[in-house]
Structure 1
Amino acid sequence: MPEFLSDNKKYYTPVEYVFSKIGGTYKMPILWRLKDKIVRYSELKKSISNVSDRMLSKNLKELCSDGFLEKKIIAEVPVRVEYSITEKGNNSIPIISALRDYGFSLMEKDGINKK
């Protein structure tokens, strides 16, 4: 496959492109937690261990700007922010599920106990 550019970055495969959008430590866990419900920032923060506010905010912003999530600001005191998954985000769930299942399978074969 020929290389291609997106956002001034060169990619060599579609898989590389996908992982630039949903890869990393936090994006897939965020999408997974939003697959069935609308979630507030504080709920996400509590449910993802070891994520800093900076990293969570950065990943949420990127997922929103890439169209995987929608951010809704509710004007009340205090202001409430809710995140929901979009159709584009929902389309990533089967891929995340397959990677998750494969990860569990590898962990089992390597003798790693899942928590």
Structure 2
Amino acid sequence: MIEWNKKQYHCPVEVSMNLLSGKWKCLMLWHLHDGTKRYNELERVVPGVSQKMLTQQLKELEKDGLISRTVYPEVPPRVEYSLTELGQSAFPILEMMHTWAVEQLGLSEPEA
């Protein structure tokens, strides 16, 4: 058994799946690799995600330590999301997923 983040796992792949699973998490991490984004920016670059799901997935990514949430004391409030070191370390996995999909789709140029 593997214990990580107060949870028990049978296999390291299970840890990865737990952190990255969710319909929108990988796409959010992909776009956050370009730099810090505000909620509305993420909403624009993740097509089809509801506000409820975007909020839920952002909270999970933050809880799992993949992203950080910074609130600025302004009126109106400004909140920004960025990748943590752990989130950055997952980017090679996303790049491999991207490359694999480009190859399977027969695309001549990778799409972001």
The Cα of 1:75 is off from its aligned counterpart by: 1.5
Output one character per residue of 1:31-84: Cα deviation in whole Å (capped at 9) or x when no partner: 111113110001000111000011101110011111110000112111111001
Q: Which moved more, 1:59-68 or 1:19-28?
A: 19-28
Q: Which residue of 1 aligns with 2:93?
A: 95
Q: What TM-score, normalized to structure 1?
A: 0.82
Give 5+ residue unaligned stretches, structure 2: none
Determine if the alignment matches structure 1 residue 29 to structure 2 residue 27: yes
Residue 5 of structure 1 and its aligned partner are, at CA, apart by 5.5
Distance 1:41 1:12, change over 3 A: same
Residues 7 and 87 of structure 1, relative CA distance in 2, 3 Å threshold:
closer
- Counterpart of 1:83? 81
Deviations 1:76-115 (A, max 9, x none): 1111110011111000000111011112222229xxxx79
**What secondary structure, in the 3-state scheme, does the structure 1 residue paired with 2:75 have?**
coil
Alpha carbons of 1:8 and 1:71: their partners in 2 closer, same or farther (altered >3 Å)?
Answer: closer
CA RMSD of aligned residues (A): 2.3
For the residues of structure 2 that align with 1:68 and 1:9, how far apart are their CA atoms? 16
Q: Partner amino acid for 1:85?
A: L
Kept after mapping to 1: 8 A contact 2:69/2:82: yes
| Identity %, equivalent residues | 35
Of structures 1 and 2, the larger Rg is shown by: 1
**Aligned twin of 2:42:** 44
Could you tell me how far apart the structure 2 residues matched to 1:103 and 1:20 are?
21
Deviation at 1:12, TM superposition (A): 3.4
